[in-house]
Amino acid sequence: MKKAIIITVIGVILGAVTGYLYYLNIGCDSGTCAITSKPLNSTLYGGLMGGLLFNMLVKSPKKN
């Protein structure tokens, strides 16, 4: 259980960093994009997606 939490937290951190880097390099200049027009939105969205992606890598325990 503890390993699953650690893996998910790593995913959130990497996703947040990636989201912020996406905002810096590609982000929406016009301000009409809901996610990429602000750094906070892009960072939070990246963190959410990273957490979900890394959480998929965690193996669930077998039930007897």
Instruction: Report pLDDT digits (tens) over 2-47.
Output: 888 999 999 999 999 999 999 999 888 787 888 888 899 999 999 9
**Residue 42 within a domain:** yes
State how far the Cα of 23 lies from the Cα of 59, in Å rounded to an integer.
32
Q: Which two tokens stand for residue 14?
A: 């990497």
**Residue 64 within a domain:** no
Alpha-carbon torsion 39, 41, 45, 50, what sign? positive
pTM score, whole prediction: 0.84
Specify the pLDDT at position 60.
79
**Residue 23 within a domain:** yes
**Residue 19 within a domain:** yes
State how far the Cα of 8 lies from the Cα of 18, in Å rounded to an integer.
15
**Residue 31 within a domain:** yes
**Residue 29 within a domain:** yes
State how far the Cα of 39 lies from the Cα of 53, in Å rounded to an integer.
21
Domain count, the chain: 1
**Residue 15 within a domain:** yes
**Residue 7 within a domain:** yes
Q: Which domain holds residue 10?
A: 2-56
